[in-house]
Amino acid sequence: MQLQIVSPEAQLFSGEVESITLPGTSGSFQILNNHAPIVSTLVEGRVKIQGNITLDKANKDKFIQEGEYTYLDIHSGAVELSENKVILLTD
């Protein structure tokens, strides 16, 4: 599935991933390929991205990479999924 992560300053990431786990308002949840459409608000926590992704040098310091997992700490945000495209808006 396609993931796009956008902050007020810049686009942090855009590319293919296997799954993403997010800190939702009602608890943590995971999005996999072919997941039903969803829109959700997010709270402070850690986003977990599964897949071998390549980060831009300009934004690499915002992420933590450990093997096939990449992590991003967020303060709040929103996520929308439609037709295997995830858009994560975060600050």
Neighbours of 16 (CB within 10 A): 12
> What's the confidence (pLDDT) of residue 25?
92
Question: Which domains are present in the chain?
Answer: 2-85 (2.60.15.10)
> What's the confidence (pLDDT) of residue 52?
86
Over residues 8-62, the pLDDT tens digits come to: 999 999 999 999 999 999 999 999 999 999 999 999 999 999 998 999 899 899 9
> What's the confidence (pLDDT) of residue 14?
96
Question: DSSP letter at 75?
Answer: S
Over residues 56-81, the pLDDT tens digits come to: 899 899 999 999 999 999 999 999 99
Greatest CA separation found in the chain? 34
At residue 91, does pLDDT exceed 90?
A: no
In sequence order, which residues have a C-beta less than 8 Å from that of residue 65 and are 6 or more positions away?
Answer: 55, 71
> What's the confidence (pLDDT) of residue 60?
92
